[in-house]
Amino acid sequence: PPRRRHGAHRAGQSLLGLYRRLQEEHRQFLRGLNDDLAADPEFLFLARRMLMKASARNQFFGKVAEVRPGAVNAEVVVSLKGGDTLVAAVTMESLQTLGIAADVDVVALVKAPQVVIVTDMGPYRLSARNQLTGSVVRVQKGAVNAEVVIQLPGGDTVYATVTNDAVEDLGLKEGSAATAVFKAGAVILGVAA
State pTM to two decimals.
0.72
**Amino acid 15: pLDDT:** 74
Is 17 found in the same domain as 51?
no
Is 112 found in the same domain as 78?
yes
Amino acid at 193: A
Is 111 found in the same domain as 16?
no
Q: Which domain holds residue 26?
A: 2-39
- Say which CATH number the domain at 50 has: 2.40.50.100
Is 16 found in the same domain as 60?
no
pLDDT tens per residue, the chain (193 residues)?
555 666 667 777 777 777 677 767 756 665 665 666 556 555 555 545 544 555 678 999 999 999 999 988 999 999 998 899 999 999 999 999 999 999 999 999 999 999 999 999 889 899 999 999 999 999 999 999 999 999 999 999 999 999 999 999 999 999 999 999 999 999 999 988 6
> Coil, strand, or helix at residue 61?
strand
* Dihedral over alpha carbons 127, 133, 139, 144 (to 10 degrees): 0
Is 97 found in the same domain as 10?
no
How many folded domains does the chain comprise?
A: 2
Is 113 found in the same domain as 21?
no
